[in-house]
Chain A
Amino acid sequence: MHKILIDSLSYKRKVNEKYIFKNLNLEIKKEKGIILILGPSGVGKSTFLHLLNGLLKADKGHIEINGFNLTDFNSYDSNKFWSETCNLMYQNFPLINWLTCEENIDLVAGNKKIDNMLEKLNVKDVYNKYPGDLSFGQRQRIALVQCFLMQPKIKLLDEPTSALGHDDKMKVIKLIKDITEKFNDLFIIATHDRDLTNYADEIYEIQNKALDIVSN
C-alpha cells in the first residue's frame, strides 16, 4: 500500500514570490491505480509533481511518501527515493541522445522482453533509432516505455500525452491502465487533457492554490 501525505503545504515561486499552493492538504492510500491532477497550463501541475518528487522544497507544510519526509532533504537519500520508490517522467521526455532507443531502455530494463509494449505503443519500428531521429510523439512514447519499466512503483507523469494524437493517446492511457493492473503501479499524472478522465481512479483539480477532488 502506497501512502502519500501532504499536510498544509505552501509553496511560492521564487521569481515573483507568488503562491502557487497555499495550505494544500492531501492524503492518498492506494496500492495501485491512476490519479489525475488536472488544471490548465501554468497553474502549477509540474510544480506539484516536482514537490512530490522532492526536487522542490515546500516553503511550509509537510510532504511524506512511503515514509520519506520530502520536506527535510537531509532526512532521506534522494537517489534511493528516485531509484526505488518514486520517479518522474519529465515534460520534455529526456532521453540520452547518443544512445539508441533500445540502449536507452536497456539502461532501466536490462534484457526484459518488451516487444508487446513496443507494439502496443507503435514504436517497434523506431526502436533501433537515435532519439534525435524521432518525432516528438515517438520520443514521448519511448520515454514512457522507459518510465513504465523503471523500478519505482509510484510513477509521476508530467503531461504524458501532450504530443500525441487521439489514437496514440488512447493507446497510452490503456497501456498505463494495463500496467497498473499487472504490476500494481500507482501513476500520478499531471495533465490538462480531460480525455484521460475516463481511465482514472481518482481525479483532482488544482484550483485556488489547492487541490480539489473531482471524483474518486
Chain B
Amino acid sequence: MQLPSVLLSLLRNRKHLYFLIGLIVLVTVSIILVSVLTIYISQSELRAWEKPLSYFSIIEPNLSFVDNNYKNKLVEDSKIKTVIEFKDSIISVPGILNTEYRPVLALENKDFEVFMNEANLKLVSGKMPQSNTRDIIISENIAEKKNLEVSDYIGNAINNEEFLWGRFEISGIFQGELDVALASLKYFERRLGEESSLLVLPENNYSAMNTSLFNLKNNNYNIETKETLIKNNNKKNKDLLDLIYILIAILTVSLTIIVGLYISLYLKTRLREFALYYSRGISRFNIVKFVLKELLLITFISQLLGVLVSYSILFILRKIIFSELIFLAQISMFDILLILPLFISIILVSFVLAFNNLKTKKLESIIMGG
C-alpha cells in the first residue's frame, strides 16, 4: 500500500483546516503589520533626510561658528566640490499620526543655483526666493500633498500645526527628486542668529567625500552623512525594536499553544486513517513523515497567505485610506524574518505532537478496536 498525496489530503480535509489556516494567517498579518507600522512611524526623520543626504553631507559646528581655517581645508579637498553655508528648519507634510516632515534649507542667494544644479532641481513655476525676504520655494510633491500654489502662505503664524516658524510666501515650485523647501539664509539669520552649518557637495563620489570629511574631522564639528543618519536612527529606535520583539514573542508563543491544541485534535480525528495505513504495512515513521509534510505545507501556505494579506492591507491603506497622505510603509525582509520563529515553533510542536499521537500501541488498539 502507498500513502495518498499530501496535497489531495489537504484539499479534501480542508474543512478541518480552515480554523488553523485562519489563525496562522491572522497572527502572521498581525506580526508583519505591527512591525511595518511601528518601524514606519519611528522612521519619519529617516524619510525626511535620507534622500537629501545621498546628495550632500552636513557639518554642524558644536561651537557657535565655523572657523575659516577648517572651512578652507574643506574647500581645498579634491573630493569636495562645494561648501555652502546654510540653516535648516522643517515643514510638515500630511502623513499618518502627523509626524511626517521635510527639510527646509536656507541658503545664500548665490548658492541656490549651485545647489539646485547639483541636486537636479528645476524651478517649474514662480521665481527664486529674494534675499532677506520670506520667500520660499517648495518641491512639486510638497505642493501637491499640502495643496499649495505660488503666492500661498505657510508657517505656524498661518496654521499653528505647521512645524515651520513664522510666515512664508511661496515664491516658486520646483521639480526634482528631493522633497525639500529652500528659503533665504539672510532671512533665517534675522530670526535665528548668524551661526550656520555647512552643506558639503561631492566632486564625484559621495562616499569618497565622506571618507575625506571624516579624515578632516575635529571635535568641534559633527558630521551628518546618510550612514550616520541611519546609524543614529537605529540607535534611537533600539528600545522600540525590543518592544516589537517582545510583542512578537508573546504572539508566537500564544499562537503556538493554540495551534498545538488544534493540531492535537486534528490528528485525533484522523487516527483511524493513520491506523489503517499502519495495518497495511506502512511504517510509523512514514506516517509521521506524511503528517509532518501536511502540517509543514499548511503552515507554509498559511504564512504565505498572511504575507499576501499584509501586502494587500498595506496596498489598501496606501491607495485608498491614506491616499491623501504620505504613507510609504512597505514590507521589508526584516518583517518577513520576524514570522520565521512562528514557522519554526509550529513545526517543532507538530513534530512532537505527531510522534506523541501516533504511537504504535495506540494505532494497534485502534485497528483492533474498530
Contact = CB atoms under 8 A, between A and B. Distances in A.
A97 B13 CA distance: 10
A90 B370 CA distance: 8
A84 B4 contact: no
Interface stretch (A33-41, A75-83, A162-170): A75-83
B203 interface: no
Interface in A51-105: 55-56, 79-84, 87-88, 90-92, 94-99, 103
B283 A79 contact: yes
A90 B367 contact: yes
The size bracket of the interface on B is 20 to 34
Given A79-B283, A87-B280, A108-B280, A96 B4 contact: yes
A103 B4 CA distance: 8
A56 B4 contact: no
Nearest to A73: B360
Interface string A27-51: 0000000000000000000100010
B281 A91 contact: no
Interface stretch (B156-164, B271-279, B299-307, B319-327): B271-279
B280 A82 contact: yes
Contacts, number: 58
Contact of B12 (A80, A84, A99): A99
The size bracket of the interface on A is 20 to 34
A21 B282 CA distance: 30
A153 to B, nearest CB: 14
Contacts of A96: 4, 273, 276
B9 to A, nearest CB: 7
A98 B12 contact: yes
Contacts of B13: 98
Q: Chain B contact residues: over half helix, strand or loop, or mixed?
A: helix
Contacts of A95: 276
A114 interface: no
Contact of B370 (A80, A83, A91): A91
B4 A107 contact: yes
Given A55-B368, A98-B12, A99-B12, A88 B279 contact: yes
Nearest to B286: A79
B291 to A, nearest CB: 14
B272 A108 contact: no
Contacts of B2: 107-108
B276 A83 contact: no
Contact of A92 (B12, B282, B364, B370): B370
B1 interface: yes
Contacts of A157: none
Nearest to B282: A79
Interface centre among A46, A80, A96 (most CB of B within 10 A): A96
18 contacts: A55-B279, A55-B364, A82-B279, A82-B280, A83-B280, A87-B279, A87-B280, A87-B281, A88-B279, A92-B370, A94-B272, A94-B275, A94-B279, A98-B13, A103-B4, A107-B3, A108-B1, A108-B280
Interface of A: 46, 50, 55-56, 79-84, 87-88, 90-92, 94-99, 103, 107-108, 150
7 tightest A-B contacts by CB?
A83-B281, A82-B281, A98-B12, A92-B370, A79-B283, A94-B276, A108-B1
